[in-house]
């Protein structure tokens, strides 16, 4: 019956995705999505722009964000859905973390220089434009300067979490992020828990206010999806999903894996205060 499909996890060039909000909307329409969740890192600036185009096409935009958090040296990504994008507190916190990202980009470029790899920080910032600058922008500068063939090689050789030019960035804790998202009227959902590989940590977050789990994700194996679906049910958490589309070079297929519109209906019901079914 319900054949409407959504993709609730996509990035634009307002963070480290490649497509503009308009291009992303066009792509979502082209592949027949009913709703598209835009979840840039540390910014919501793409959302109102996407909405102006989406209206024309009858596509629904789900306002979202992806916050990088850290607990004891481990990086946890927290999605916030159906947030109030005008929340002053949320916007102030995101602005702070965008500044943190910029300062860290300088440090990574310095570390690369110490390794004999010379890219220009101004070129990195130019590639990022107004976007929240991230490692993918540095990766693109590395490709451009001919040090590596592609984004993947840039990560593998230099800037992956265990790479020689990696620099961590200051982050909030997952609990802070969940609170912040809730105060902005949103729904906190742990992103791609399969990449974290610690179900007990999801249980821990569930005891501290987590509302949903990203069950379906492009880098989850079928086993991961089955596992986290069961875990979400066991813990009484909402289930969400999306491709984590960034465009060229990384997580490149919008709309894969398939996610039913019903998932979005559940998010809306939660926000409206309707208890979870089943
Ligand atoms: P940052 O937020 O600056 O730490 O960068 C993290 C982002 O880099 C992630 O959200 C992904 O988009 C991207 N990323 C992480 N690991 C890889 C990888 N191995 N290959 C390509 N992109 C990656
Ligand atoms: Zn990203
Ligand atoms: Fe993520
Ligand atoms: Fe993401």
Q: Which of 213, 212, 210, 214 is nearest to 243 (CA)?
A: 214
Local confidence band at 2 (pLDDT 50, 70, 90 cut-offs)? low
Determine whether the shortest distance from the Cβ of 136 to ligand 1 is under 6 A.
Answer: yes
Tens of pLDDT along 204-230? 999 999 999 999 999 999 999 999 999
Q: How many angstroms separate the CA atoms of 31 and 36, rounded?
A: 11
| pLDDT at residue number 73 | 87
Judge whether residue 1 has pLDDT over 50.
Answer: no
pLDDT at 275 over 70: no
Point out the ligand nearest to the CA of residue 15.
Answer: 2
Average pLDDT value for residue range 60-74:
95
pLDDT averaged over every residue in the chain? 95
Q: 277: pLDDT confidence band, cut at 50, 70 and 90? A: low
Give the bridge partners for 258, in sequence order: none
- pLDDT band per the 50, 70, 90 thresholds, residue 137: very high
Ligand sitting nearest the alpha carbon of 16: 2
Helix (H, G, I), strand (E, B) or coil at 253: coil
Asked if the peptide bond before residue 257 counts as cis, ω within 30 degrees of 0, the response is yes
* pLDDT band of 170, cuts 50, 70, 90: confident
Interval 11-34: pLDDT, tens: 999 999 999 999 999 999 999 999
pLDDT at 183: 97
In angstroms, the CA 196 to CA 173 distance is 15
Q: How confident is the model over 77-132, as pLDDT tens digits?
A: 999 999 999 999 999 999 999 999 999 999 999 999 999 999 999 999 999 998 88
Would you tell me the crossing angle of helices 121-128 and 135-144 to the nearest 10 degrees?
120
Q: Using DSSP, state whether 119 is helix, strand or coil.
A: coil
| Residue nearest atom 11 in ligand 1 by C-alpha distance | 136
Confidence category of residue 66, pLDDT binned at 50, 70, 90 = very high
Atom 17, ligand 1: residue with shortest CA distance: 155
Distance in Å, CA 1 to ligand 3 centroid: 32
Backbone angles phi and psi of 155, in degrees to 5: -70, -50
Q: Cβ neighbours of residue 145 under 8 Å, at least 6 residues apart?
A: 118, 119, 123
- Rounded Cα distance between 12 and 247, Å, is 8
DSSP state, 67? E
Percent of the chain predicted with pLDDT > 90: 92
234-257 per-position pLDDT tens digit = 999 999 999 999 997 677 899 999
Question: For 156, phi and psi rounded to 5 degrees?
Answer: -60, -40
């Amino acid at each position: 019956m319900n054949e409407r499909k959504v993709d609730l996890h996509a990035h634009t060039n307002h963070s480290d995705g490649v497509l503009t909000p308009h291009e992303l909307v066009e792509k979502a329409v082209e592949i027949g999505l009913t709703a598209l969740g835009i979840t840039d890192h540390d910014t919501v600036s793409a959302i109102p722009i996407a909405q102006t185009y989406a209206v024309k096409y009858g596509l629904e935009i789900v306002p979202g964000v992806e916050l990088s958090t850290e607990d004891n040296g481990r990086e946890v990504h927290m999605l916030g859905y159906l947030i109030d994008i005008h929340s002053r507190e949320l916007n102030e916190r995101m602005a702070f973390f965008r500044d943190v990202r910029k300062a860290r980009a300088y440090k990574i470029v310095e570390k690369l220089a110490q390794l004999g790899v010379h890219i220009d920080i101004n070129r990195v910032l130019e590639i990022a434009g107004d976007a929240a600058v991230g490692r993918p922008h540095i990766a693109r500068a590395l490709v451009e300067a001919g040090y590596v063939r592609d984004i993947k090689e840039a990560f593998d050789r230099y800037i992956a979490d265990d790479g020689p030019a990696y620099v961590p960035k200051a982050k909030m804790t997952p609990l802070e992020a969940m609170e912040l998202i809730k105060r902005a009227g949103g729904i906190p959902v742990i992103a791609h828990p399969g990449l974290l590989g610690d179900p007990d940590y999801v249980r821990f977050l569930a005891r501290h206010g987590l509302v949903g789990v990203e069950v379906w994700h492009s880098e989850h194996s079928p086993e991961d999806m089955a596992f986290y679906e069961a875990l979400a049910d066991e813990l009484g958490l909402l289930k969400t999903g999306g491709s984590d589309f960034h465009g060229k070079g990384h997580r490149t297929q919008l709309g894969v894996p398939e996610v039913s519109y019903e998932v979005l209906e559940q998010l809306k019901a939660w926000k409206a205060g309707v208890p979870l079914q089943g």
